[in-house]
Amino acid sequence: MAIRFVLEKPKVFNRIKLGEKPLICVPMVSYDTETINNFKKIRNKIDLIEIRIDHFFNDSLDLNFFEIIKSINIPYIFTFRAHWESDKREQAKVINDSIRIKWYNEAIKNDASIIDFELSSIKKNDNFRDVIKKAKDKNIGVILSYHNFNETPDKNTLLSIIEEENYFGADIFKFSTMVKKISDLLIIDEVTYIIRDTYKKPVITMGMGDIGKISRITTSMYGNDVIFAHSGMGSAPGQILYEKMIGIVELFY
C-alpha cells in the first residue's frame, strides 16, 4: 500500500468522508435520459458525481431536476461554474450571479454533499457568503476553487490563493492549473503537501493537460482527496477514464 498523507481527523459531510482514501468523482456534463441511466449503472463503482450544471443549463430547466439527480443515489458535488473560470472558455454561458446563487441554494435544500464555487466569485459578490452559511448549517461541504487554464503559478502564488480560500470559509481547498512542464508537477505536489500539513483540511488539487495527467495520481499521496475522472465526456483536459482510475486507486491506495 502506498504512503498517503491522510487526515488524523477525517471530515464528514453529508453522506461522504474526506481525508482517508481518495474518492473518485465523475462529472455530469450533459443532462438527458441516457446520461442519468448511465450514472445509475455505475453508481456502485464511483464515490461522487460532480453536477456541472453550467454545461447544460438553460431557461427551461426546472427544479424537478434535483429529484432526478437524487434518484441516481450517489453523493454529489453541485457546481455552477462562472464563465470566466469555465473549461468551456469562450463558449461558456454567461449566467447572472443571482441565478447561480438561486441554484446553489436549491442544491443545499436537495441533499448535495458538497457545493463548489470559485474564490473569485465570492470576492466579486458578497452574496455568496450567505450561500456558505446555509451550506455549513446543513453540514454540506464548501469548496472554494481556483482554476488557471494557462499555466501553473509559482508556489507562493498558489499558497496565497489557498490562504484566501481559507479566509472566506472554505471547508475544502481546491486548485486546478495547466501543466506545461515537469517542474509544474513538482509545484502542485509540494503545494498539496503544504496545504494538508498547514490547514489539516480536505484538499483537491490537480494539473490539467497531457503532462498534468500524472498529477491526478501523485497528488493523492500528498493529500488530494478527490480524483476527477470521466465516463466518456470530461469537464477538464487531462481527466482519465473512471474505469482506469478505479484500478489505479485500488493499486496504490
Residues belonging to the active site: 147, 174
Cα of first residue to Cα of last residue in the chain, in angstroms, is: 6
H/E stretch holding 146 reads strand 141-148
The Cα–Cα gap between 114 and 122 comes to 16
Burial of 74 (0-12, 13-18, 19+ CB in 10 A): buried
Determine how many CB atoms are found less than 10 A away from the CB of residue 211.
16
Residue 206 contacts residue 178 (beta carbons within 8 Å): no
Q: How far is CA 253 from the centre of its chain?
A: 20
The Cα–Cα gap between 253 and 250 comes to 6
